[in-house]
């Protein structure tokens, strides 16, 4: 793979971005208020994804963190981090009731100190169980699972963007559950895991995560879909579905991938691509990465994409060279296609023109996910609030702070009547009556022009249909 120089890559991405705006303007001629200024193409995956409010992540292995090439790429390119193995059941509870967070904390602290968010992986799984758990059964195992979720989700409370609460619980064929010691404790083990996780960390999005659920026609996909549908109907607290998306010749990228993502999203959950890798090389591989990115960007509730490792040589499938960087840390064609797709996609989000701010709050939405607030058109920063989860007696909200110029700290303020804040993460709260002021914490105050920081909170009471957040 020929490594392109940085300036030529940036030019290529910019060209793609401008082309995207022209194409969109042509399609949407009239009617839609559209920013006429092309955004400068971003030069890293995380920043490019952030333009549309999404993240771009990677899995990190604690054992590689002292490799400077590895950690520098991870720091430069990604804004979401998953511990590849360090938060799994065997790693975090090696002896029953004795938790070990050394390596998980190492990854989490590095991520938070560098302004990144963290996906938790994974609380309950038939695989990677510690030896003491493997031979357990019945109510003893059920209680051990609950204790494990309380121990791990409790330890990381307030610091995790999304948890893979249950991993890989469906059988590879037939559309039913996989047999496992956990499954044999009773079919309700998955919902018990979700309810336990919600209580242990109300601020984290709770995901079901699996592989070979990408092709809409596959029985396994339908099995998971029906479970999520049932959970939503019965109020089991599930917020998101993770699509691992390990693609290779036996499990190729399906042309109906976007349909799958959209159909799950239509159930009222977020969708996330959680462990992406695509075996192959050259243009074929690059174009498949491009399609995956385009599919995520086309689905409003697709929050972001995580690739399962940094360089090909870091991959669990190293011989398939499935990642975005080669063994020397050089950007592959797959990287360029991914970055281009992220930059092009961002221009396809219609945004209010800076000169004509909307004078009234956005129309209240009937859907449980309230529409985002109108960004403040001027000033050093702008903030938008959106409801990411609403369970009737309470809700979870996410506030995005976008810097219009380089800033070294931010203060947001909003008023909520009819609800009280119970927890805030990634931000520091002071309240006076129903007026809440949230400032940056130590690691997310420094933002370059165009960069975004996100904080979240949970509240009791009913969610506002829209809310204005000021930012200074």
Other beta carbons less than 10 A from residue 183's beta carbon: 16
Name the residue number minimizing CB distance to ligand 9MR.
316
Peptide bond into 122 cis (omega under 30): yes
Distance CA 322, CA 310 (A): 10
Select from 85, 185, 404, 454 the one that contacts ligand 9MR (CB under 6 A): 85
Distance CA 437, CA 435 (A): 7
Residue 67 has phi, psi (to 5 degrees) of -80, 110
Looking at the Cβ atoms of 128 and 217, the one nearer to ligand 9MR is: 128
Q: Is 86 a catalytic residue?
A: no
Q: Is 128 in the site for ligand 9MR (CB under 6 A)?
A: yes
CB of 271 to ligand 9MR, least distance (A): 16
Select from 99, 316, 391, 443 the one that contacts ligand 9MR (CB under 6 A): 316
Q: Is 134 in the site for ligand 9MR (CB under 6 A)?
A: no
CB of 301 to ligand 9MR, least distance (A): 22
Q: Is 312 in the site for ligand 9MR (CB under 6 A)?
A: no
Neighbour-count burial of 25, counting CB atoms closer than 10 A to its CB (0-12 exposed, 13-18 middle, 19+ buried): middle
- What string marks each residue from 220 to 259 as x (binds ligand 9MR by CB under 6 A) or -? ------------------------x---------------
Distance CA 394, CA 459 (A): 6
Looking at the Cβ atoms of 132 and 316, the one nearer to ligand 9MR is: 316
Q: How many residues bind ligand 9MR (CB under 6 A)?
A: 9
Looking at the Cβ atoms of 211 and 425, the one nearer to ligand 9MR is: 211
Identify the CA nearest to 277 among candidates 42, 58, 125.
58
**3-state class of 73 per DSSP?**
helix
Distance CA 199, CA 189 (A): 16
Strand partners for 411: 439
Select from 8, 127, 134, 358 the one that contacts ligand 9MR (CB under 6 A): 127
CB of 342 to ligand 9MR, least distance (A): 24
Query: Tokens 């998101």 identify what position?
Result: 240
Select from 42, 201, 275, 340 the one that contacts ligand 9MR (CB under 6 A): 275
Orientation angle between helical segments 282-298 and 257-265, nearest 10 degrees: 20
CB of 275 to ligand 9MR, least distance (A): 5
Q: Is 400 in the site for ligand 9MR (CB under 6 A)?
A: no
Which string of DSSP letters, residue by residue, matches 202-228?
TTSEEEEEESS--STTSHHHHHHHHHH
Query: Of 275, 279, 340, 398, which is the active-site residue?
Result: 275
Of residues 187 through 226, those in contact with ligand 9MR by CB under 6 A are 211
Q: Are strands 270-278 and 428-432 parallel, antiparallel or unpaired?
A: unpaired
Looking at the Cβ atoms of 315 and 343, the one nearer to ligand 9MR is: 315
Looking at the Cβ atoms of 323 and 388, the one nearer to ligand 9MR is: 323
Tokens found for residue 256: 């109906």
Check: CB of residue 273 under 8 Å from CB of residue 292. Answer: yes
Q: Is 84 in the site for ligand 9MR (CB under 6 A)?
A: yes
Active site residues: 275
Could you list the residues that contact ligand 9MR (CB under 6 A)?
84-85, 127-128, 167, 211, 244, 275, 316
């Amino acid at each position: 793979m020929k490594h392109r120089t940085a300036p030529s890559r940036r030019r290529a991405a910019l060209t793609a971005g401008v082309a995207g705006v022209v194409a969109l303007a042509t399609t949407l001629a009239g009617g839609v208020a559209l920013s006429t200024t092309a955004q400068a193409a971003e030069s890293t995956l995380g920043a490019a994804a952030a333009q549309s409010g999404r993240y771009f992540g990677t899995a990190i292995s604690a054992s590689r963190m002292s490799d400077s090439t590895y950690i520098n790429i991870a720091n430069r390119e990604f804004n979401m981090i998953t511990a590849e193995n360090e938060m799994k059941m065997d790693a975090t509870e090696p002896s029953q009731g004795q938790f070990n967070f050394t390596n998980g904390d190492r990854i989490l602290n590095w991520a938070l100190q560098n302004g990144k968010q963290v996906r938790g992986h994974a609380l309950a799984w038939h695989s990677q169980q510690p030896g003491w758990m493997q031979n357990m059964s019945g109510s003893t195992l059920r209680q051990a699972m609950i204790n494990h979720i309380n121990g791990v989700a409790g330890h990381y409370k307030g610091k995790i963007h999304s948890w893979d609460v249950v991993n890989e619980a469906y059988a590879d064929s037939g559309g039913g559950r996989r047999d496992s010691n956990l499954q044999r404790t009773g079919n309700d083990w998955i919902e018990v895991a979700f309810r336990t996780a919600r209580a242990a960390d109300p601020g984290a999005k709770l995901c079901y995560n699996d592989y070979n659920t990408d092709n809409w026609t596959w029985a396994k996909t339908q099995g998971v879909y029906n479970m999520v549908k049932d959970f939503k109907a019965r109020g089991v607290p599930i917020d998101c579905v993770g699509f691992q998306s390990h693609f290779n010749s036996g499990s190729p990228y399906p042309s109906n991938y976007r349909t799958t993502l959209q159909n799950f999203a239509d159930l009222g959950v977020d969708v996330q691509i959680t462990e992406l890798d695509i075996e192959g090389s050259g243009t074929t591989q690059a174009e498949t990465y491009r399609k995956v990115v385009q599919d995520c960007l086309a689905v409003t509730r697709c929050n972001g994409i995580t690739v399962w490792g940094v360089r090909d040589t870091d991959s669990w499938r190293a011989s398939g060279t499935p990642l975005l960087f080669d063994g020397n840390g050089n950007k592959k064609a797959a990287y360029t296609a991914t970055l281009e797709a992220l930059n092009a996609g961002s221009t396809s989000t219609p945004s209010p023109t800076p000169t004509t701010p909307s004078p009234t709050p956005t129309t209240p939405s009937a859907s449980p996910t309230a529409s985002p607030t109108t960004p403040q058109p001027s000033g050093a920063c702008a903030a938008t609030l959106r409801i990411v989860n609403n369970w009737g007696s309470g809700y979870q909200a996410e506030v995005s702070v976008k810097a219009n110029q380089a800033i070294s700290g931010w203060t947001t303020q909003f008023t909520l009547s009819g609800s009280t804040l119970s927890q805030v993460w990634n931000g520091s709260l002071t309240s006076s009556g129903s007026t809440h002021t949230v400032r940056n914490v130590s690691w997310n105050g420094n933002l370059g022009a165009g960069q975004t920081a996100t904080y979240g909170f949970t509240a009791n009471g009913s969610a506002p249909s829209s809310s204005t957040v000021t930012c200074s």
